[in-house]
Structure 1
Amino acid sequence: MTLTTASPPLTPILTPIEARVLGTLMEKARTVPDSYPLSLNALLTGCNQKTTRDPLMELTEAQVATAIDELKSAGLVRETSGGRTTRYEHNFQRGIGVYEQAAVLLGMLMLRGPQTAGELRLNTERWYKFADISSVEGFLEELQERSPEKGGPLVVKLARGPGTREQRWAHLLCGPVDATQTGAEHASRSGDGSVTGNLAARIEHLEAEVAELRETVQKLCSELGVSPPGQS
């Protein structure tokens, strides 16, 4: 990890692995709060999961541990004490100096790559409920116009790719990106990104709801002293 030479405060430039580790911690803090902070093993599993990740990664425990050390040095991850297992939590919002809504958007961009404002609104639904696409665009524009005194821009609006109707946004936490090339590559990978992204996000949201309902049913059955449906 290196630091930019912009005026203070300095904005860390992350490696792709550090971005994946940080994004995963940010995601799990909101989607599985009962299991957060994360152990090294849980963090590794989250980094390597095969859904809601772009690109997919096959990281090793050593790679994740090294990334944690670098992020701790940059003040973006903290180690929590207590218990027999060391656990980790992010300090992104304070470490980077952004509002909660901006942190949510940056976290999702780190995990899933370039996305349209509409995709971001849908994909972040379990993290934060934006009122509409315009509010998402407003925070993205603020991040794009961030002044040098605050560390400089953190996102960039990509050129519209072939066959796409909306422009995508990409984060700059890993350094500058080629706006034209990145937009085209993402469009080629996902085809109609708005449809593919929306479908994946809806499936993930439904799965989360089913899990919550199942847990609620199990608690009610336990309180009533009866077996859950499907069990003798």
Structure 2
Amino acid sequence: MSEESNSDESESRVKPLTAIARRCLGVLVEKAKTTPDSYPLSLAGIITGCNQKSNRDPKMEVDEGDALRALDELREAGAVREIQGSGRVTKYRHAAYEWFDVDSPGSAIMTELMLRGPQTLGELRTRASRMHPFVDLTATQAEVDSLIEKGLVFAVTPAGRGQTFAHCLYTPVERQHLAAKVEKQAAAGASAGSETTGKPGSLANEGRIDKIQQRLDDVTARLEALEKKLADLES
């Protein structure tokens, strides 16, 4: 009963985050593990980490206003804390271990998923090992399974070779976009197979999926524009 209670508490605490908030949280956890001498991070350090070209997908151009709004979102959620640094410079530290209810290997995988998006087990093992060593794919799979049980990770593609996993912090619109993208990739694979056997029946289906994805892209862009306008009005 206590385990069920802890699981419900974790699910109620962890909520979807905007893309920039996820990037800021990922940067804080990453830098705490890889460059502890420069941690906690100032606002400038967080912005630099968000916009760096390596270990990031997609690339971002986060400005000061974007970062401040994201940090407010994270503080309200309980995932980040603001502290007073030396010289009265405000700095930030993450509370990811408590917020996610994970240990070091779990936080490493969640961080890679936040910084780079959906990945396979092999990609997660290679990339997350810079923050926590994973001896093999079996150890990586065990940690991913644990995160799935906690409701933090889900399988984007069916089980099998090249199975892809993602975090559960996407907003509902982003989840729809991701599902459409996966469906399109599956349809493209089916189309390639039908072309080799002289059966082009999946081409019409691929065109339909393209239209659905375009509509989702349009909706996402409009929502992001509205969110920015509301944030500007509030500030």
Name the TM-score, length of structure 1 as normaliser.
Answer: 0.68
Aligned-partner SS, 2:162? coil
Equivalent residue for 2:81, pick from 78, 81, 85:
78
Is the 8 Å Cα contact of residues 158 and 182 (structure 1) preserved in structure 2?
A: no
Identity %: 41
Q: Give the letter for the 1:155 counterpart.
A: V
CA distance in 2, matches of 1:14, 1:67: 9
Q: How many residues align?
A: 175
Q: Give the root-mean-square deviation of aligned CA atoms.
A: 2.5
Partner residue in 2 for 1:129? 133
> Do the aligned partners of 2:157 and 2:165 also contact (CA within 8 Å) in 1?
no
Partner AA of 1:69 in structure 2: D
Determine the structure 1 residue equivalent to 2:217. Answer: none
Pick one of 168, 175, 184 that aligns with 1:172. Answer: 168
What one-letter code is carried by the residue in structure 2 that aligns with 1:174? Y
Q: Which residue of 2 aligns with 1:221?
A: none
1:51 corresponds in structure 2 to 54
CA 1:41–1:86 in structure 2 vs 1: closer, same or farther (change >3 Å)?
same
CA distance in 1, matches of 2:138, 2:163: 14
Separation in structure 2 between the aligned mates of residue 115 and residue 185 of structure 1, nearest angstrom: 17
Residue 155 of structure 2 is matched in structure 1 by: 157
Q: Give yes or no for contact 2:124–2:140 (8 Å, CA) kept in 1.
A: yes
Instruction: Give 1:1-232 correspondences, 5 Å limit.
Output: 7-9=8-10, 10=12, 11-84=14-87, 85-146=89-150, 153-159=151-157, 165-175=161-171, 177-178=175-176, 180-183=179-182
Q: Please, which runs of 5 or more residues in structure 2 have no aligned partner?
A: 1-6, 189-235
Structure with the larger helix share: 2
Amino acid at match of 2:114: M
5+ residue gaps, structure 1: 1-5, 147-152, 189-232
1:116 and 1:54 map into 2 onto residues whose CA distance is: 14
Contact 1:114–1:170 (8 Å) recurs in 2: yes
